[in-house]
Amino acid sequence: MASRGEDLKRSAERRRMPRGPRGMNVEKPRNARVAFSHVLGLLAPYKVRLAFVFVAAIASTAFAVAGPKVLSQATTLLYEGSVARVAGTGSIDFAGIAAVLLAALALYLFSAFASFLQGWIMSYVTQDACFRLRERISEKINRIPMGYFESASTGDVLSRITNDVDTLAQSLNSSLTTLVTSVVTIVGVVGVMLWISPLMALAVFLTLPVSALLLGVVMKRGQKYFRQQQNALGEINGLLEETFSGHEVVKAFGRERMVGASFAAANERLYEAGWKSRFVSGLMMPVMSVVTNLGYIVVAVLGAYLVVASAIAVGDIQAFIVYVKDFTQPVQQITQVANELQSMAAAAERIFEFLDADEEVESGSVELSRVAGDVVFDHVRFGYDESVPVIRDFSAHVRAGQTVALVGATGAGKTTLVKLLMRFYDVNEGSISIDGTPITSIDRGSLRAHIAMVLQETWLFNGTIRENIRYGNLTATDEEVEQAAKAAYAHHFIMSQPGGYDMVITEDASNISAGQRQLITIARAILANRSMLILDEATSSVDTRTEGQIQLAMENLMHGRTSFVIAHRLSTIRDADLILCIDKGDIVEQGSHEELLRLDGYYARLYNAQFANMA
């Protein structure tokens, strides 16, 4: 396992990575073969529908390719009839022309219907495949270990789930059918052109190397600048994400100018790379236009000569000009599709990297029906990087119903211990057991169903206060929700809000104070009514008066339950049954508040220093 420092470094690198459909390095994915195999696996359940799509695409293209040749007969009939009429040897065959036009109309109608059919079916396949892919991602999130989220950039993870899936959907919906129709068009057009006049076809084909050479030069330069543009865009996304989430800190420390300067520099890099990439890529259409017009000139000159020589009909020149256009257009489309497919492969690679990420170790099979709460830590050793232990040799016996306080400096391992208890991580050595059963043999869901948590960083979702409290017990009645709020001393402030329990909390919960957010999370824990309780800095965000109210509520909540309390305010844990003083992953002292004060050691120094600062 990598060190936390390396994890953070990789997180920063991921934050700078390009994000989303325009945040891809479209040059190539790291392993295109694997990426495309994942895409094929995703499409495997839709084989029959995809077969219909390809048949419809081929039919649509075939009808469209046949159209110009059929129409050329009308031109030939009109030309020959006009010549005969002038010479006095005949007249224009309007009936024949009408029949040809009706046949051409029928071909184009069939082509349009087949095109609609393939587009309709492909849209269903794309949306359904991406719907199922998002379901897989949602299920995967619940199986990924905590370490993944602690080391990964939030923006990067969200980009894989949203932007990359959208990129995949857009590419699947258009690129595959475009590729099929382009290839069929080229094959059909080449066949008809050779049928009409091999000499004219050969002359047109000789313009292709010129086109390929010019496009190759343009694309090579364009990819360089496009890659720079995506990197700059990813950097800006990361800066915006950080600035928005930490805007209060930025303002508090007066760093607006520094943040603005960083954004301006990244924005300047994006501007420089952006206009260069657009300028170079903008040359593609003029280059293709020149090559196409060159083909028209060849057809016009050589075609006129062949008509005079009676080698081809006049209408064939008209058809040939259309086919020259139809030939260069799919070549251009294939070039564009190649870039889109590379973007799709890169998006698929990032999505399936997430789906293939290591999951939590297979959960145990033991289901807990009742938990008394007797917890034993037996020589526990753990490190996020096994070579750098955070918990060194931790042993403790917490009896059922005890309130245990974990005390120590930041980084001592207090929060890590409760994460191990919740099996967010598994120990490297030693064991943790509940009621005599090792937690590694207990089903994770069953284990966590008996433990309620109140975290230091409150988490509330965009919904009503009632819904946020009910999150602790989804079957709770409105009356039970209100009783939990009263027990947490939250009822009074809730009723003073507009809408009371039905007031909607904003996405970032900025419309209530930090202390009020904490009270709601405590009410949620009370409503959950679990056998064990973990309070991680539960009163760190409230004032002294609110802290006193919470303490009364906590005493009722913790009565008869095994409770682990982490608090910097030592005044909140004086009544704890057992206080464990942790330093560098080891217990340096343990006992009650009075016992530890009499020892006049680690705890006494912390306690006296804290109250000296308060004096």
User: Where are the alpha helices (H) located in 462-592, listed in sequence order?
Assistant: 465-470, 478-487, 491-495, 514-528, 544-558
Helix-strand-coil split of the chain, %, nearest 5: 65, 10, 25
Determine the angle formed by the axes of helices 154-161 and 208-245, rounding to 10 degrees: 130
DSSP 84-108: HHHHTS----HHHHHHHHHHHHHHH
Exposed / middle / buried, residue 42 (Cβ in 10 Å: 0-12, 13-18, 19+)? buried
The per-residue pLDDT for range 563-601, each reduced to its tens digit, is 998 877 787 788 889 999 988 878 899 999 999 999 999
Contact 126, 344 (CB under 8 A): no
Say which DSSP state 366 is in. Answer: B
Backbone angles phi, psi at 507, to 5 degrees: -60, -40
Question: What fold characterizes domain 375-614?
Answer: Rossmann fold (3.40.50)
Contact 214, 283 (CB under 8 A): no
> Residue 49's CB: how many other CB atoms inside 10 A?
15
CB environment 279-299: b (16+ within 10 A), e (fewer): ebbebbeebbeebbebbeebb
The per-residue pLDDT for range 545-566, each reduced to its tens digit, is 766 767 777 777 777 889 998 8
What superfamily in CATH does domain 30-193 come from?
ABC transporter type 1, transmembrane domain (1.20.1560.10)
Domain boundaries, the chain: 30-193, 375-614
Report the distance separating Cα 422 and Cα 453, nearest Å. 10
Contact 384, 147 (CB under 8 A): yes
Note the maximum CA span of the chain: 130
- Average pLDDT of the chain, as a whole number: 81
Alpha-carbon distance values, 287 to 217, 280, 403 (Å)? 11, 11, 77
Report the distance separating Cα 347 and Cα 22, nearest Å. 10
What 3-state class would DSSP assign to 562?
A: strand
Going by C-alpha positions, the residue among 118, 47, 104 that lies closest to residue 72 is 104
User: Where are the alpha helices (H) located in 142-197, listed in sequence order?
Assistant: 146-151, 154-161, 163-196
Please list the rounded mean pLDDT of every run of 10 residues in the chain (615 residues): 39 40 47 82 90 91 88 84 81 88 93 92 91 88 76 74 84 83 87 88 80 73 71 78 73 76 85 79 74 79 84 84 80 78 83 82 78 91 86 89 88 84 89 92 88 80 91 92 89 91 85 82 88 75 67 74 84 86 87 92 86 57
